[in-house]
A and B are shown apart, each in its own frame.
Chain A
C-alpha cells in the first residue's frame, strides 16, 4: 500500500471521527464519545505510518528528506500535530466534546491536502537542505496545533457562554451538559496556549538560528518572520491579559480566536498573498 492511499484512509477516518463526535453531542452517550476518540486515534496511527512511508518513498527515489518540504507535506504534518495535541488533551482531561470542535480542523486539512494540493515528492532545493528545516518546522507546527486546539476550546467557551446567558442563568441542559464548565474551558484554553507559546518561541528561535546559519541574518523582517512575531505578540498579550483583572473568560477566548486567525494567516496567507523567502508551494 502506498502512502497516498493511507492518507485517504486517514482523511476518511477523521471524517468518521467528526461525525461520531457530532453523534456524541446529539446522543450524549459516553460510549459514543469514546468511539470518536478512538476513531481519531486510529486515524492518527494510520497517518503516522503514512508519513513514515512517504519519508521512505523519498529515499527510494534517491533524494531522501523529511516529509516537511512543500505545502502538501506541511498541511499533512499540521493536521497530524493538531490530532496529536487533541488526543493528548482528550486522554488527560477526558472531555470528548472538544473533539467536535477540533477534529474538523484536522478533517479540513487532510481533505484540502488530498483533494487539491500537489502531492508529488520533489527533491530539496539547496536552500532547504539543512537539519534546521526539521527542527524549525516541527516546533512551529506543534505550536500552531496547540493554538488550533485552544481556538476550538475558545469557540466552545463562546458558545457555552452565549447559551447560558440565553437561558438567564437557568440550569444549562441538553447538549451543553457535555461541555466542560465555563471555568474549565477557560483553564483549558490557557493550558493549550501554555503548550503552544513555548513551542512557537522555539520555532521562531530555530528559524532565526537557521536564517543566521544560512544567510548571516537572524532576522530580516521577511513577511513570514514578521507574521510569526505578530502571532507571538498576540499570545504574549493573551498571557499578560490573564494576570490583569477582568481579562479572563470572554475576552481571553476572543483573543485566542484572533491569535489562531493570525496563526493561519502566518501559515497560509503569507504564502498565498504576500511575497518572501518562505513561499513554497508556488
Chain B
C-alpha cells in the first residue's frame, strides 16, 4: 500500500495519520487506480443484464443468482461499492486540486516579473540581442515592440537595469481545474436529479386524460394538472417500417385549458414540457374500450342492406333471428393476413337456434370471402372508430441544467488545457543590450520556433 500510493506509513502519531490520509487522497496514482478500476468494474454491468430480467435469471444457477444479488450485480451502477468508488474519485479530485491550485494560482496572479541570472538558467529559450542604445531608450523600444508583436509588458527597474515581462493567456493554466470542477458539478446535478426528480410513465386513451402518473418505483405521482390525449396516430413507410408515432396533447389546469398548451403534437424526439415535467412519446396500443364497430348485413335473396353498430363482445340481433358478436377488430389486416388489406373483424355468428361459429369478415372489397359464411346473410365489416392509447414516458429532473453546465465547463476546460498555452516572455535591458527569454506551458518545440521568430523581428525593429 505505502509503496503503491507513496505515503510514509512509519509515523503513527495523529499528525502523521492525517498527513498520510491527505497524501493518500492527493495521490495521482490513486486517481489512475480509480479510473482504471472504474473502467474494469463497469464492464460487469454491461455483461449481466441490469434490473430484474426473468429470461436471464432462468439461464443461470441458483448459487449464481444469490451471489450476484448479494454483490448488487443486478443493479450494479447503484450498488454501494460502485457509488463508493465514485465518491472516492470525487474526494481524490478535490484533494488533489486543493493541493495544487494555490501553486498554479500564484503563477497566474503573481507572475515572476524579473528574469535574473538564476531564473534565466531555468529557461530553455534565451537569446541575447545586440542592439545599440541607452538602457532607457532600448527599454521603450522593446516595450513598444512587445506590445505590438506579443503582449503589453510590465516594466520594472532594478539596479540600473530594466526588466520587462509580458504574457499571453495565463488563465489557460486553470483549464485542468475547470475540468475537475465540472466533474463535481455534474455529480451535483445527478444528485439533485436523483433526490428531487423522477421517471414515470402513463398510458392515456385518445379522448382521455391523466392527472397522475406511475413512477418506475411503482409510486403514484400527482402531476398537479391534467394531460389529455386528443389523438394518436401512427404512419408507416412502404416497407412496413414505422415512420412516425404522433400524439396530440393538451394541458388542463383546474379543468381549464392552458393557453399555448392546446393540441400540441409530440413525436419521438420532440417532447412536451409543462411546469418542469416532460412527456415523451414512448409506446402506443389499441384501446378497445368504448369502441363502435360498424357492419352491414345483406340478405342473399335481395332486399335493402341493414347498417348496424356494435360494442366489443355485445350480442347484436340480426334480421331473421340470428345473433352476432364482434370479438376483436383492426383497421388494417395487413400484419395478420397476407395479401389482404383494409379493416377486418373476428366475429362469432349464432344462427337462429344454432350454436356459435367464429369466422373473419372483411370489407366490401372481399365480399366473395364474406359470402362464404353467415347462412342466408352476407355480413360486411365497414370499420370502426378505432381508438389508440398513447404510452408516454414522464420525467422530471431539476438537476439536468446543472449537468449541462458541468458538461459545458468540461468541454471548455479540456480545450483550455489541451489547445491553449500560457506563453511568457521576459526581457532584461541594460546599456549593453537586451537579453530575452521565454517559456510556454504547452508544446515547447512550437514555442521555440515562434520565439526565434520574435527575436529575429526584434533585431530588425527600429
Contacts and interface: CB of A to CB of B under 8 A. Distances in A.
Contact of B28 (A63, A214, A244): A244
Contact of B36 (A129, A208, A219, A233): A233
Contacts, number: 111
Contact of B46 (A123, A129, A227): A227
B242 A126 contact: yes
A221 B190 CA distance: 13
Interface in B44-91: 45-47, 49-50, 77
Interface residues of A, number: 44
A270 interface: yes
B271 interface: yes
A95 to B, nearest CB: 15
Given A125-B242, A208-B407, A240-B28, A229 B395 contact: no
Interface stretch (A28-36, A109-117, A196-204): A196-204
A213 interface: yes
A274 B47 contact: yes
B394 A122 contact: no
Interface string A239-282: 01101100100000000000000100000001000110000000
B447 to A, nearest CB: 14
B237 interface: yes
Given A218-B400, A218-B403, A227-B46, A129 B35 contact: no
A209 B405 CA distance: 12
Contacts of A230: 39, 42-43
B418 interface: yes
A31 B391 CA distance: 64
Nearest to B39: A233
Given A126-B242, A197-B414, A213 B269 contact: yes
Given A216-B393, A216-B397, A244-B32, A126 B245 contact: yes
A213 B403 contact: no
Contacts of B415: 198
A274 B407 CA distance: 28
B267 to A, nearest CB: 7
Main secondary structure of the interface of A (DSSP, over half): helix
Contacts of B410: 201, 205
A214 B190 CA distance: 18
Given A194-B418, A240-B31, A223 B46 contact: yes
Given A213-B269, A226-B42, A226-B77, 18 more contacts: A63-B237, A125-B242, A126-B269, A201-B414, A208-B403, A209-B404, A209-B407, A213-B271, A215-B282, A215-B393, A216-B393, A216-B394, A216-B397, A221-B50, A233-B36, A233-B39, A237-B31, A274-B47
Interface of A: 63, 122-123, 125-127, 129-130, 132, 194, 197-198, 201-202, 205, 208-209, 212-219, 221, 223, 226-227, 229-230, 233-234, 236-237, 240-241, 243-244, 247, 262, 270, 274-275
Interface of B: 28-29, 31-32, 35-36, 38-39, 42-43, 45-47, 49-50, 77, 190, 199, 237, 239, 241-245, 267-269, 271, 278, 280-282, 393-395, 397, 400, 403-404, 407, 410-411, 414-415, 418
15 contacts: A122-B239, A122-B241, A123-B239, A123-B241, A201-B410, A212-B400, A216-B271, A216-B395, A221-B45, A226-B77, A227-B46, A230-B43, A233-B35, A240-B35, A243-B28
